Structure 1
Amino acid sequence: MNTQIQHLYDLAQCPERRIIGLMSGTSMDGLDVALCRIQGSGPQTRVSLTHFETVPYTDDLKAEIRKVFAKKEIDFQHLCVLNPWIGRLHGQMVNDCLRQWGLTASEVDLVASHGQTVFHAPKIQHQLAQFPNATLQIGDGDHVAVTTGIITLSDFRQKHIAKGGEGAPLAVYGDYFIFSKKDENRLMLNMGGIANFTYLPGNLNADEVFTTDTGPGNTLIDAFTRQLFNQPYDADGRIAAQGTINPALLHELKQHPFFAAPVPKTTGPEVFSLAYVEAARQRSQTDRDLAPEDLLATLTRFSAETIVEAIQKAIKPGEPYSVYWSGGGMHNPILTSHIREMLPNFRFANTDDLGIPGDAKEAILFAVLANEAVAGGHTSFGNRQGVPTVSMGKVSFPD
């Protein structure tokens, strides 16, 4: 037997695995690096976070990614060279974190690398009859493995698509294993570039669990903050707090058919882009005289209302629910106050209260997916659309 395959087999038998989860979302703030100790698998999964760091992307790195990000027409050579380049950079970021934490590669069993999403194209979005759901993440796993010297699992979303899913959101699998609690209906709300939530029923029935995108989280807020204020994001919602919500624009922003589609569903910045907002401004006749602060206030309300309306479609009237939020949006008090206002009977908390820091949650979830691919794979989620029962991740050996 190949010694590396033997090593992977031995890891699967160990009572505990040390796994680094890597996540960079559509907001492109940086690479989240989470070193976890994971015991068990499936519903018996137990996770403890040992170290966490967000390694910021430089402006130059963001600029290179934005040349291909969410664009139908690109320089194909640039995409080709970005794939290994991002993989090596992510590997170097892992190495830097290990040095900072006083650890060596030999003290880590696996790396779980999500990669950098550059285009997401579910069939409901691309409308090409002969083609399936599609998504593309760059940052090649072989380059991560060779750069770090650690076995790497990557490209998780392709198996999800191969089994009939849309490749996103994948949080449902890790959320169910980590956060389910008997007799408490939980909604794990992640507000990244695109917002999504996982529904975890208090009866612990995996057949009822699902994850869905709700629409924009921070992607439009961030994009217009960069364009109009030359800032990376609306820190603490301070710009939106100075503005007034424009009802006409808000109405037009909510007219996309995505919002009427049943859950689970996915979307991305390919749909909810600067051009999308400008078209809504023209229809609402707010393209000339709307103050920048009013635009940010309206976009923040847009994210909040579409999150809440998606949640309201998923819940059962009369039952109690707890919302645990994570992602960059949880730091925006204007966004969170809108959500609280529209869901007055819900209990709200951060995933920090469950032992998982909200900023680290997505990276941890990919570590859990890698653990499940190596040591689990026995939990059935039924055969529902969007939530296939599947193990995900392609294996890259360092040698």
Structure 2
Amino acid sequence: MNNQIHNLYHKSNKAEKLIIGLMSGTSMDGLDIALCAFKGSGDQTKIRLLNFKTADYTALFRKQVKSIFSKRDVDLEMVCLMNEQIALTHALLINEAIAEWGFKNEDVDFIASHGQTIYHAPKLLHKQEGLPNGTLQIGDGDHIAVNTGIITLSDFRQKHIAAGGEGAPLAVYGDYLIFSKRGEDRIMLNIGGIANFTYLPSDVDPKKVFSTDIAPGNTLMDQYVQKHFDGIYYDKDAAIAKSGRVNHKLLNALLEHDFFEASFPKTTGPELFNLSYLEQAQIETQTESISREDIMATLCHFSAKGIAMAVQRTIGAHSQAKIFISGGGMHNLLLLELLHAALPNVQFETTDQLAINPDAKEAVLFALLANETLTGSIVDFGDREGVPSLSMGKISLPK
């Protein structure tokens, strides 16, 4: 047996595995790095989050990624080069984090790398007859494996599409295994660039579980701030949005898209919800001259309304379900205030209450996907479009 294959086999069979999960989302503020200890698999999985950090990106690196992000026309040479550059940058940040935490690289068994999404194109959005769902994450797994010396699993979303899904969201697999609770309806709400949730029914039947994108989360607010307010990347504490007033004509126009009526599960991204989408709504409603503060207030209401509509559609207006929030949007105080007002019967918590740092949750979930690919058995989510029952992740060996 090849030594590298033997090493893969040996590490996969350890009683406890150390796996680093990585996540870099649409905000591109940095790389989430979560060092997790795993015992077991499937519904017997036991996870300990040992360390977590968000490693900052440099301004130059962020600019390079944004030059090819979520655009139909880009420099193909830059896409090619950034596939390697992202991986090399991530490998460097991983090596630094491991040393900072007092570990050695050989202590870590596996890396689970989400990569960096640069374009997401489900059929619902691209509408090109005869062409399939598509998505592209770059940050080559081989480069990460070679430059850290750690077996790396990456490119998770392609298997999901190959099996009939849309490539997103993937949280359904980890959320079901970690967070389901018999006797309690739960919604695991992640508010990142795009807001998505996983519905976990109280009877813990996997055939009823689904994950879906539901609305813009932070992406439009972040894009608008970065364009119109010098030197800041997001609206800290919703200070700008709180100083403005919602424009209901503009809000209603923003909500008039067939995405919001499409059935669950579904997926979207900044390819749809971007500044061009906002500008078109302003033209339609003749609101081009309203203040920037009013636009930010309206965008915050837009995110809250989209999220609330999806929750109500799933659990009903009077459900006693619990919502566990994670992602950057949980720090937006106005957004949370609006969600509480729209969903008065729902109890809100963060995943801290479930022993997972909410900022680390997505990185932890990709580490779990790797653990399931290495040692798990496939959970049967039923024969449903958009929720294929499968394992995911391509394996890259260090040598």
Measured against the shorter chain, the TM-score band is over 0.9
Deviation at 1:56, TM superposition (A): 1.1
Aligned partner of 1:208 in structure 2 is 208
Aligned partner of 1:273 in structure 2 is 274
Q: Deviations over 1:231-269 (max 9, x none)?
A: 100001111010000000000001111011111000000
Q: What is the SS of the residue equivalent to 1:339?
A: helix
Kept after mapping to 1: 8 A contact 2:24/2:116: yes
Deviation at 1:11, TM superposition (A): 2.3
Q: Deviations over 1:74-98 (max 9, x none)?
A: 1100000000111111011100101
Aligned partner of 1:172 in structure 2 is 172
CA distance in structure 1 between the partners assigned to 2:9 and 2:381 by the alignment:
25
Deviation at 1:224, TM superposition (A): 0.7
Aligned partner of 1:252 in structure 2 is 253
Q: What is the SS of the residue equivalent to 2:263?
A: coil
In the alignment, structure 1 residue 228 sits paired with structure 2 residue 228 = yes
Task: Give the TM-score, by structure 1 length.
Answer: 0.98
CA distance in structure 1 between the partners assigned to 2:157 and 2:266 by the alignment:
14
CA distance in structure 1 between the partners assigned to 2:201 and 2:44 by the alignment:
17
Deviation at 1:317, TM superposition (A): 5.9
Q: Deviations over 1:144-179 (max 9, x none)?
A: 000100000000000000000000000000111111
In the alignment, structure 1 residue 152 sits paired with structure 2 residue 152 = yes
1:366-381 alignment, distance < 5 Å: 366-381=366-381
Aligned partner of 1:110 in structure 2 is 110
CA distance in structure 1 between the partners assigned to 2:216 and 2:107 by the alignment:
39
Kept after mapping to 1: 8 A contact 2:250/2:281: yes
Aligned partner of 2:303 in structure 1 is 303
CA distance in structure 2 between the partners assigned to 1:118 and 1:207 by the alignment:
31
CA distance in structure 2 between the partners assigned to 1:104 and 1:145 by the alignment:
15
Deviation at 1:123, TM superposition (A): 1.0
Aligned partner of 2:77 in structure 1 is 77
Unaligned runs of 5+ in 2: none
Deviation at 1:12, TM superposition (A): 2.5
Higher mean displacement: 238-247 or 123-132: 123-132
Unaligned runs of 5+ in 1: none
Deviation at 1:124, TM superposition (A): 1.3
Aligned partner of 1:43 in structure 2 is 43
1:51-90 alignment, distance < 5 Å: 51-90=51-90
1:342-381 alignment, distance < 5 Å: 342-381=342-381
CA distance in structure 2 between the partners assigned to 1:11 and 1:96 by the alignment:
23
Deviation at 1:310, TM superposition (A): 0.9
Deviation at 1:322, TM superposition (A): 0.2
CA distance in structure 2 between the partners assigned to 1:148 and 1:140 by the alignment:
13
Aligned partner of 1:241 in structure 2 is 242
Number of matched pairs = 398
CA distance in structure 1 between the partners assigned to 2:294 and 2:317 by the alignment:
34
Q: Deviations over 1:61-84 (max 9, x none)?
A: 111011110000011000000001
Deviation at 1:316, TM superposition (A): 4.6
Deviation at 1:377, TM superposition (A): 2.8
Task: Give the TM-score, by structure 2 length.
Answer: 0.98
CA distance in structure 2 between the partners assigned to 1:367 and 1:277 by the alignment:
36
Aligned AA (2:224): F
CA distance in structure 2 between the partners assigned to 1:48 and 1:14 by the alignment:
15
Q: Deviations over 1:192-234 (max 9, x none)?
A: 0000000011111000110000121000011111111121000
